[in-house]
Chain A
């Protein structure tokens, strides 16, 4: 059986029957007695975060997860569909698991899919994606020196703040973690 000594950021463990990824782990000595491990867990399917502090040496249940890169194909009302390029197998994830990431999902984008016992469980977008601006108001001349920003709608429907010099048809790189503009491509 695995113990807290096997805890590392990024591994998946079963907690109350659900797979959770360890997003943070801190080994601490509260001062008197044993050492403890403070962990921050994220439920892979719901995204909900919880803090659990375990005693050093406690056993943990490491989940049998694996990760592969897959390509996004299309969506319908309930599901997002992907293809595993290694075997052309089609896979799906419920839309509520994709959640807010759906705003960055462009056909063909490669995402990292997590499998639990070989079943698709969750997906992770690349940190940056390139998307086309479909609609943005013209920039006001002379305003560029202030570092002003304006709203732009992207091909996936997402809205981001972009610099004033950008126009419809430009491709921009955006950070999918915080939804901010990075650069013009």
Chain B
């Protein structure tokens, strides 16, 4: 089912309120390219590929649909353009349609300078409470508390739900933990695979039971390729995810602004793609070049606008907040 007229009106109202909050805060609204010369290297992302003709050579070349506007905004950081936001489309292939995913979806991305990820948690609370206030009383989630949402670290969550202290975990410790929990695993599992097998089966279902939105923070470094490491424990990085009603709404980092470390992480992902038979994608050299500039401490976040609307309107399926969801669009052609 696609969204009806009333839902589309509410959707438009929410998006206007989001835009209003950022303008009030003095953020610069950007429109950045969707068609990119080099996409995100993240191995789990299935990238949609297109082609264009380079008029200088008359040759066809590959172009990629953006999986998020992240690289664009960071390139602009390198040019000294700070405190930006964008409401745009992003594209991800290979996920189920209709319930929680659509191959193109609306994403809200913002970057705050100077700031670390804790400032972005305040931004999330302030933004969403503003949206609820402006759109109230029509919104169904209006009664939900809008401040002081719990901040739960990954270490605390593993302690609580898996009875495990992962503070100083090494490779063998992770493999022993999944065995102890009795979850299936495969010998070829990477640490990320093990982490997610445990997180998705034992922890995420518990998050759905919480009454207010929550921040899950401080992920193991192998789970945060674009985030800065924590100063007091380099095994963990300054990343958080915002969950509401069990739904993952957003993902944020204290941005990694060290070009050298960023290059080494991208090269690792590139190599992983090669080893695992995934499409091998070019590394975006101009992105790495941009990070060589002297950029002050910056934090950035991507928030799924369709999912935020679902949560605010108490709608369970993403296709019910979209004017023309993929299943309807591709069914009849």
The reply to whether the CB of B205 lies closer than 8 angstroms to some CB of chain A is yes
Q: Size of chain B's interface in residues, with CB distance under 8 A?
A: 32
Give the contacting residue for B92; candidates A26, A29, A52, A58; CB below 8 A: A29
Q: Does A29 lie within 8 Å of B96, measured CB to CB? A: no
A178 to nearest B CB, angstroms? Answer: 17
A/B pair count, beta carbons within 8 Å: 71
Q: Does A28 lie within 8 Å of B205, measured CB to CB? A: no
Q: Does B251 lie within 8 Å of A31, measured CB to CB? A: yes
Chain A binding surface, main DSSP class: strand
Q: Mark A20-43, 1 if CB is under 8 A from B, else 0.
A: 000011111111111110100000
Q: Which of B196, B201, B223, B225 has the most CB of A within 10 A?
A: B196
Nearest-neighbor residue (CB-CB) of B219 within chain A: A32
Residues of B near any A CB (own CB < 8 A): 42-46, 92, 94-96, 99-101, 184, 186, 189-190, 192-193, 195-197, 199-201, 205, 219, 222-225, 248, 251
- Chain B residues whose CB sits within 8 angstroms of the CB of A57 once the complex forms: 186
Residues of A near any B CB (own CB < 8 A): 24-36, 38, 51-55, 57-58
Nearest-neighbor residue (CB-CB) of B190 within chain A: A33
Q: A31-B44, A31-B251 are in contact. Are A26 and B100 (CB under 8 A)?
A: yes
Give Cα A29 to B248, complex, Å. 12
Give Cα A25 to B99, complex, Å. 10
Give 18 CB contacts A-B under 8 Å.
Answer: A25-B96, A26-B96, A26-B99, A26-B100, A28-B96, A28-B101, A29-B92, A29-B95, A30-B199, A30-B248, A32-B42, A32-B192, A32-B222, A33-B190, A33-B192, A33-B195, A34-B193, A55-B193
Q: Does B205 lie within 8 Å of A51, measured CB to CB? A: yes
Q: Does A28 lie within 8 Å of B223, measured CB to CB? A: no
Give Cα A38 to B246, complex, Å. 14
Q: Does A36 lie within 8 Å of B100, measured CB to CB? A: no
Q: Does B196 lie within 8 Å of A33, measured CB to CB? A: yes
B140 to nearest A CB, angstroms? Answer: 23
Known: A30-B196, A33-B43, A35-B94. 9 other contacts (CB 8 A): A26-B101, A28-B95, A29-B44, A32-B196, A33-B196, A34-B44, A36-B196, A38-B200, A58-B184
Nearest-neighbor residue (CB-CB) of A24 within chain B: B99
Give Cα A92 to B224, complex, Å. 56
Give Cα A126 to B45, complex, Å. 41
- Chain A residues whose CB sits within 8 angstroms of the CB of B197 once the complex forms: 53, 55
Give the contacting residue for A33; candidates B44, B101, B201, B251; CB below 8 A: B44
- Chain B residues whose CB sits within 8 angstroms of the CB of A32 once the complex forms: 42, 44, 192, 196, 219, 222-225
- Chain B residues whose CB sits within 8 angstroms of the CB of A35 once the complex forms: 44, 94
Give the contacting residue for A28; candidates B100, B201, B224; CB below 8 A: B100
- Chain A residues whose CB sits within 8 angstroms of the CB of B45 once the complex forms: 29
Q: Does A30 lie within 8 Å of B44, measured CB to CB? A: yes
A13 to nearest B CB, angstroms? Answer: 13
Nearest-neighbor residue (CB-CB) of B197 within chain A: A55
Give Cα A90 to B185, complex, Å. 43
Q: Does A31 lie within 8 Å of B42, measured CB to CB? A: yes
Q: Does A29 lie within 8 Å of B94, measured CB to CB? A: yes
Give Cα A30 to B190, complex, Å. 14
Give Cα A183 to B44, complex, Å. 49
A10 to nearest B CB, angstroms? Answer: 15
Q: Which 10 A-B pairs have the closest CB atoms?
A: A33-B192, A53-B200, A29-B44, A26-B96, A32-B223, A27-B96, A34-B193, A53-B201, A30-B196, A27-B95
Nearest-neighbor residue (CB-CB) of B100 within chain A: A26
- Chain A residues whose CB sits within 8 angstroms of the CB of B189 once the complex forms: 55
Nearest-neighbor residue (CB-CB) of A53 within chain B: B200
